[in-house]
Structure 1
Amino acid sequence: MVDLTEQERAAIRAAMRRIAEAMDDIGWATRLQDLTEPQVLTLIEVAVGGFQDAMQAIARGQPVEELPF
């Protein structure tokens, strides 16, 4: 397990919004084993992109938007 910083934890929480949006398109009832390769790649891309964008915002001292839960 990776020992994450508070900034990295915040970036992960911020990336969840993009992942949730992708899952809305895919369908929340879709089982992981039923995902197509393009769907899996999309989930990975939005997760990594959301994380990177949030980390850049944190580095600039800007607030990151997180899910309200």
Structure 2
Amino acid sequence: MRACRICGRASRGFFFAHLLRADLYPTYAFCSRRCQDAGAAIAKRRNGMIDKTDTETKAIKAARQSFAEVIGELGLMPEFEGRSAAEIDRIIEACVDGFRDAMGRIALNDDIPF
């Protein structure tokens, strides 16, 4: 049984997927309608995410090096000097989310070449 995403108790059949799109967004489990409502409100404000998993946080941090290499190659490093890690992570997350959303839209339109 999955744990409630808000309080950690055992979930009891209350679920939420942002925009009812379980193919694009995580599906969260909750123990009650109260926790489900709270989780849905958080996810709506954060474009489907309640919080990042440890793996997602590590992956974003690991992507900073690739990001730095590309902006260096493009001569854009001066524009990013002095930016915080949180600001860089926000850019990386926006790119990943945009890519994922586009892939979902393409798949729904059967535009994936074989």
Q: Which bin holds the TM-score, normalised by the shorter protein?
A: 0.3 to 0.5
Scaled by the length of structure 2, what TM-score is found?
Answer: 0.28
**Greater Cα radius of gyration, structure 1 or 2:** 2
Q: Hey, which of these two has a bigger chunk of strand by percent? A: 2
Scaled by the length of structure 1, what TM-score is found?
Answer: 0.43
Q: Of the two structures, which has the highest relative contact order with CA contacts closer than 8 Å and spacing of 6 or more? A: 1
